[in-house]
Amino acid sequence: MPIGPAAGRRLEMKRRISIAHVIFRLDYGGLENGLVNLINRLPRAEFAHTVISLTNSTDFRRRLPEDVPVHELHKPPGNSPAYLVRIWKMLREGHYDVLHTRNLPCLESQLAGFAARVPVRIHGEHGWDMIDLHGTRPGYRALRRAFRRVVTRYVALSRHIESYLVDTIGVDPARVTRICNGVDTARFTPAPEGLPQTPFVVGSVGRVEPVKDYLTLARAFARLATDKAEAARLVIAGAGSERERLLGYLREAGLGECCELPGASDDVASIMQRFSVFVLPSLAEGISNTILEAMACGLPVIATTVGGNAELIVEGETGYLVPPGDDAALAARLRHYLQHPEEAARHGRAARERAVREFSLDVMVERYRRLYRDSVAAAGARGAAA
């Protein structure tokens, strides 16, 4: 018996939507953490996932379900079309409904999706790196503009990025969806005993890379330690290319005994519960997962005035914003919290309340669920009309 159009659409929407996620590297980081949270929380009965890493992956992949394949392409530096051919073959053979690329290094993978006739091609802009801190390089702008014809929908993690895509790149606003990161407020919770005061622990979690500018945090801490060496400690949890340089600076400044750089960890929540204040000194950001996690842990947050940080931090209520690269301003804010523990505790409580109220992980997941399902349905409707 023939199936009518309406019944056919109902049957089609019952089939799991197959999504290929393309990222540069599957490693510890905010973007990757957001991807893993999304895959783990989207309904398994509705979605099937594949992760394609242009380079490689680390043991961070263990956070993914066992039935989610991870393909490592080991792409060498520079421009080579060979990896696009490999992605095209994978997409063609996998019959994916959605291709979701993230950030500029993965944008060219949209060509493979277009050639493989993946019906929904989503590109997410999460923030910028040292190669183009403010999205101003003419060549990269031209590349983004050229791909407007290939990408079907965009995801912007902050209002700043949304405005950039619309006003600078010229993307139709109707094709841009803003979805902020979400935080697991059940996993990230305040320490039962409250914020530690002695010692006063200045903490951060993130990739120890130039864009995070941890050297500025180290210099600010050196200013603080000059006043109260015994009363303050610095903890920076994360791995990256700048770690040895950072350690060298701290040793030369005579701060080795009061500083810890424990490397990457799967238990970020426990590490954050040791902090008195959380600091993110980045030169560029989208919507920071670690700021959200720190807020959920009931920490006051000091961050730089870049990207979407101002969308997360309420100045003077949940933390403070400082100019990027300004270790003196950062040290002044740290000293203020050290001298006013009651304000630090009040800001931490307000940060926790804001994280629970406005940045729920469930809200983020539902917005992506709706984006994927609506986009696939719209693509099916266009195909039927054609």
**What confidence score (pLDDT) does residue 2 get?**
39
The overall pTM is greater than 0.85: no
Q: Provide the 10 A C-beta neighbour count for residue 170.
A: 11
Could you tell me which of 127, 152, 149 has the C-alpha nearest to residue 207?
A: 127
In the chain, which residue ranges form alpha helices assigned H by DSSP? Answer: 5-14, 30-41, 82-94, 109-115, 138-146, 159-163, 214-227, 243-252, 268-272, 289-296, 309-312, 327-339, 341-358, 361-385
For residues 39 and 64, the answer to whether their CB atoms sit within 8 Å is: yes
Q: Is 200-358 in the same CATH topology as 5-182+361-385?
A: yes
Could you tell me which of 191, 182, 183, 198 has the C-alpha nearest to residue 297?
A: 191
Q: Provide the 10 A C-beta neighbour count for residue 86.
A: 15
Give the separation between CA 161 and CA 277, rounded to whole angstroms.
27
The listed CATH number (3.40.50.2000, 3.90.1170.50, 3.40.630.30, 3.40.30.10) that belongs to domain 200-358:
3.40.50.2000
For residues 58 and 132, the answer to whether their CB atoms sit within 8 Å is: no
Fold type of domain 5-182+361-385: Rossmann fold (3.40.50)
**What confidence score (pLDDT) does residue 136 get?**
86
- DSSP line for 349-367: HHHHHHHHHH-BHHHHHHH
Please give the chain's pLDDT, 386 residues, in tens. 333 444 444 434 458 999 999 999 999 888 898 999 999 999 999 999 999 999 999 999 999 999 999 999 999 887 778 999 999 999 999 999 999 999 999 999 999 999 999 999 999 999 887 788 778 899 999 999 999 999 999 999 999 999 999 999 999 999 999 999 899 999 999 999 999 888 999 999 999 999 999 999 999 999 998 765 458 999 999 999 999 999 999 999 999 889 999 998 889 999 999 999 999 999 999 889 999 999 999 999 999 999 899 999 999 999 999 999 999 999 999 999 999 999 999 999 999 999 999 998 998 999 999 999 999 999 986 666 55
Joined tokens for residue 58: 């680390």
Joined tokens for residue 340: 């006013």
How many helices (H) and strands (E) would you count in the chain? 14, 13
The domain spans of the chain are 5-182+361-385, 200-358
